[in-house]
Structure 1
């Protein structure tokens, strides 16, 4: 795939009212739902397609990945402990955190490691895992303090190579059950945009999204952005929590989960997805607008997106929205004229580091269904 440019906008594309009128009954029902729920307890739900086109996701439609019941932590009682390989251990309440350190806001997309797992399940079964479609991803404005500033204040020592986070939510899937936790390497922890966030879209962080305070690690799988954080530990290796050592690891086909088996997941790779039209839907023949998102997690920006309406035989450059923040997704559109009949629409993206998407989900299948970054396809009928 060579370098390609954004094309000019095609004329006479349907407006939003026309699009809504053309929805099927199933699509209209989905449009009324703030989330698509996969599991009630623990609560797991993804953002519906019609909300994936919003640049900033409202909290009520922001995807939720939980491993245990949502803890209810009173902001007045919340306390953060910072310890381990530091010169001075800290204990901070919310007021202390806010008054002691400068505030900082980051616009960042968070993405579950299992986003688009349903496509991998279509290749081969993945028992015991949620069938996430393209909506285990959302974007918000996060406000808090830089983790780096807190670690500097505590005096993180040179021997510390990782920073671990502990939370109070008890997960029964661990054996024996344990609270959720995880860690990131020191380099990432000391970067500019890793936050201890208490605000989401300029409002107090809702409990379901980790309030009163959560970690936000832009560019990494969502599991590393630990919610309801209550302890930060500087240490000389990764966290020994089940969700770092066992659960969120990339396994090769045939490997069984176990401590330190496979590859630890951290930064996400370049990916893109079609959000409208949805798979197996019907649209009016003629002019229609295909919409989607693209994102990269290595600190790279989306360079270009291409879309095919004939199953990958020919490709056209999509129009990209104006670039905003480094860690935020980039939406794209392609206005095209569809002839009556069946169409397979495929999307592929490239980032500024040269990253591009594998051709097929079968190429990236793995036993846990993580990190599906293959080209995304939907099958539609134009009538």
Structure 2
């Protein structure tokens, strides 16, 4: 079972490749020529687009017809180079420090396993997924749809950890996770370390996870221990977590203060701007893929895709084949894995030979409808525009 993205998407100009789709095709060709880095060498290369050693995208064609994304096809995003593989040799020995609680403790993964166990099916998505469609060409990896996957993390609830450590200190507003990446000597840790703060309200479903899809979390995905916050973008799910703290202030690290903020176009990032935390409702089509050269025969076509609601479940999905002029309700297929997981959808359309623009539009249980336009911002974050993700296809 799997799901993901990463194909070439044309937004308009159905008579041929648009400038955007041409640029994406060129970027994809360059990416596919790159080799997988050593820490991810076990992945299925033909299902992936290697943008860099720290950014690897799932191809749209590799998502398939299931719900759970296989690890060998799951995207990879690291803000800095990962630690040594040695840290996953003995996962149970990894230590995380719990601070900002009444009884601060250092707990090994083995200790955590005695406190409880839950499994959380959820969408894991990079904050910049869909950045390739921003006309302003913001800096950063030009992700299309493949910086996302649906996985099952297993671990101990944060609430159980708090119970074992006497609870938060009074007045705590944020939960802060600190990653275990190595900091080069001589550098101010705040400039490079991955340390993210999120509102304490997020602890309700958050966990410290040591397994993903039923196996120990590999280094590429944050093993031996990862902070998992369902509904929040990938960067907030801190890898190789070595400290979990509760306090009144957000982290002083640059990645918290100066990065991952919804910065208006033309402005500099500052702490007064909205932090990139919760994911919005989103959907995209996975079949047809919109890849150049893909042949779609006239007749009944099964249009498939994936939809998720962000902080609540996906309630329904509509599909359009005329660029959003008219919509037809799609059906969900497969099991419902909970409000944080995505749903597979399908709708049959009888298509005659010609040019089509295929779009999908999801609505969440909270009543939020996937918008036509993206939220403009200078870093290319949180793109859930159905028009941006629309596919131009030719039926023969």
Shorter-chain TM-score tier = 0.7 to 0.9
Match of residue 303, structure 1, among 315, 322, 327: 315
**Residue in structure 1 matched with residue 10 of structure 2 by the alignment:** none
- Pair 1:80-2:67 in alignment: no
Any residues of structure 2 matched to 1:236-247 within 5 Å, and which? 236-247=248-259
Deviation (angstroms), 1:158: 2.1
**3-state secondary structure, aligned to 1:294:** strand
**3-state secondary structure, aligned to 2:194:** strand
Determine if contact 2:61/2:289 at 8 Å carries over to the other structure.
no
- Pair 1:149-2:165 in alignment: no
Match of residue 186, structure 1, among 200, 225, 231: 200
For residues 27-49 of structure 1, the C-alpha deviation after alignment (integer angstroms, 9 at most, x for no partner) is 9x999713221112xx1112222
**Residue in structure 2 matched with residue 267 of structure 1 by the alignment:** 278
Match of residue 78, structure 2, among 54, 57, 66: 66
For residues 143-192 of structure 1, the C-alpha deviation after alignment (integer angstroms, 9 at most, x for no partner) is 11001111222121222111111012258999974211102211112x0x
- Pair 1:256-2:271 in alignment: no
**3-state secondary structure, aligned to 1:251:** coil
Q: Cα 1:280–1:202, aligned 2, differ >3 Å: closer, same or farther? A: closer
Deviation (angstroms), 1:279: 2.7
Counterparts of 2:372 and 2:223, CA distance in 1: 39
**Residue in structure 1 matched with residue 234 of structure 2 by the alignment:** 222
Deviation (angstroms), 1:201: 0.9
**Residue in structure 1 matched with residue 382 of structure 2 by the alignment:** 371
Counterparts of 2:192 and 2:359, CA distance in 1: 41
Deviation (angstroms), 1:261: 4.3
For residues 291-340 of structure 1, the C-alpha deviation after alignment (integer angstroms, 9 at most, x for no partner) is 11111122x22111111111112111111124221210011112212221
Instruction: Flag structure 1 segments of 5+ consecutive residues without an equivalent.
Output: 1-25
More strand by share: 1
Counterparts of 1:52 and 1:243, CA distance in 2: 30
**3-state secondary structure, aligned to 1:306:** strand
Counterparts of 1:227 and 1:92, CA distance in 2: 16
Any residues of structure 2 matched to 1:1-40 within 5 Å, and which? 33-40=46-53
Deviation (angstroms), 1:102: 1.2
Determine if contact 1:67/1:171 at 8 Å carries over to the other structure.
no
Counterparts of 1:171 and 1:332, CA distance in 2: 44
Counterparts of 2:256 and 2:313, CA distance in 1: 27
Counterparts of 1:241 and 1:145, CA distance in 2: 26
**Residue in structure 1 matched with residue 36 of structure 2 by the alignment:** none
* TM-score, length-scaled by structure 2: 0.82
For residues 49-74 of structure 1, the C-alpha deviation after alignment (integer angstroms, 9 at most, x for no partner) is 23324311111111111011111314
Match of residue 325, structure 1, among 306, 316, 338: 338
For residues 125-156 of structure 1, the C-alpha deviation after alignment (integer angstroms, 9 at most, x for no partner) is 21x31000111111111111001111222121
Counterparts of 1:261 and 1:47, CA distance in 2: 34
For residues 271-294 of structure 1, the C-alpha deviation after alignment (integer angstroms, 9 at most, x for no partner) is 111122123543222222211111
Instruction: Flag structure 2 segments of 5+ consecutive residues without an equivalent.
Output: 1-27, 34-43
- Pair 1:360-2:336 in alignment: no
For residues 68-106 of structure 1, the C-alpha deviation after alignment (integer angstroms, 9 at most, x for no partner) is 11113142542111112x11110111211212x011111
Determine if contact 1:67/1:170 at 8 Å carries over to the other structure.
no
